Amino acid sequence: MWKVFGEAAEAECHRSNALERDRINELGGIIGAEDVSLEIARGELFVIMGLSGSGKSTVLRCIAQLQRPSRGAVMLDGQDLARMPEAALMEIRRHKMGMVFQNFGLVPHFTALQNIAFPLKVRGEPRSQRDAKALEMLELVGLEGRGDAYPAELSGGQQQRVGIARSLAVDPEVWLLDEPFSALDPLIRRQLQDELLALQARLQKTIIFVTHDFSEAVRLADRIAIMRDGRIIQQGRAADLLLNPADDYVRRFVSDVSRLQVLRLSDVMTPAKRAPSGAVKLVASTTLEEMLVAAPAVQSAIAVTDPEGRVIGRADRDALAAKIRNGNAA
């Protein structure tokens, strides 16, 4: 998918079979997204991250069709959203998509309950049903008893919870979040990250989350795509980015992230079917930080198991600890 800004450059996108950045620049165009290709699984929490101007929000807006791609397709359940008429897109947004933005986007003269119920009103649902659903969503995000409060009477964190509840009220299949926590102070931000993960564990939505914060991406994501200048530089699990950064740009992003908290035994183990003699058994999802606590210093050998307890690999506590001290857990 491409998204360029500028009339002549956009016309070139429609006309040419071989787009080039230099040609777009010659025409005075600005590239928002260049040859972006993503495949996001149902129920996945996928994070698009990059610095300001990297193109991450442009990609999200193209997925939502708030901006039409200059070239390419956006497929949802076998349908190309990029070729849908606006009326059909409105139905998709009303029934299949939920969106949350950084600035909350609440209607100031609506109460919290009215804000949450508003998309259901637009959808034409009876008042009794939309009020019941709004109350349910208010409880889901921990704001029981605050339904009559207006946005100005709520803290930033509470306002964003209302925004989250409103987007979930339509029971979307795809949930799009554009830096929803970036305007909040660190403590509230961490709390809302926890709440998002709890909601995802319960609801299993397909989530596309945009952020400029790699630590936030690592904490939330099943997979991450890192963008720069409209291009995707690398995508994969957090462990993949930490262990095998594609270039110096990605390497700088991951340099301050604790490998102890991100890498799991499954990322560093040697495949094996038998446990070493006297080994401590730990499940493959154990982080290296948890390993150092769980495996006593006097016992170096670790047998890595699947959730059912079958041995699938081995690791050495002392060798891993030495690599961690040297800044390399690979």
CATH number at residue 213: 3.40.50.300
In a shared domain, residues 130 and 272: no
In a shared domain, residues 190 and 69: yes
In a shared domain, residues 224 and 319: no
Total domains in the fold of the chain: 2
Query: Which residue, 258, 283, 304, sits at the end of a domain?
Result: 258
- What sign does the CA torsion over 58, 62, 68, 69 have? positive
In sequence order, which ranges of the chain are alpha helices (DSSP H)?
Answer: 7-15, 21-26, 56-63, 86-95, 112-122, 127-140, 156-168, 186-203, 214-220, 238-243, 248-254, 259-262, 265-268, 288-294, 317-325
CA distance readout (Å), 150 to 51, 108, 115, 138, 155: 33, 7, 9, 14, 10
What is the per-residue pLDDT for 247? Answer: 93
In a shared domain, residues 305 and 233: no
What is the per-residue pLDDT for 312? Answer: 94
Residues 61-76 pLDDT 10s: 999 999 999 999 999 9
Q: Under a CB-based contact definition with an 8 Å cutoff, are residues 69 and 2 in contact?
A: yes
Residues 123-165 pLDDT 10s: 888 998 989 999 998 988 888 888 999 999 998 888 988 988 8
In a shared domain, residues 91 and 122: yes
Q: How many helices (H) and strands (E) does the chain have?
A: 15, 14
In a shared domain, residues 233 and 310: no
Q: Under a CB-based contact definition with an 8 Å cutoff, are residues 218 and 224 in contact?
A: yes
In a shared domain, residues 291 and 212: no
What is the per-residue pLDDT for 217? Answer: 92
Q: Under a CB-based contact definition with an 8 Å cutoff, are residues 269 and 314 in contact?
A: yes
Averaged pLDDT of the chain:
88
pTM recorded for the entire structure: 0.85
Query: Which residue, 240, 258, 276, sits at the end of a domain?
Result: 258
Phi and psi at residue 52, in whole multiples of 5°? -60, 135
Residues 6+ apart with CB under 8 A from 324: 259, 260, 288
As to burial, measured by CB atoms within 10 angstroms (0-12 exposed, 13-18 middle, 19+ buried), residue 36 is: buried
> Which structural domain range is residue 320 located in?
261-325
In a shared domain, residues 239 and 303: no
What span, in angstroms and rounded, lies between the C-alpha atoms of 175 and 71? 23
Q: Under a CB-based contact definition with an 8 Å cutoff, are residues 15 and 183 in contact?
A: no
In a shared domain, residues 168 and 222: yes
What is the per-residue pLDDT for 329? Answer: 58
Query: Which residue, 232, 258, 284, sits at the end of a domain?
Result: 258
CATH number assigned to the domain comprising residue 296: 3.90.1280.20
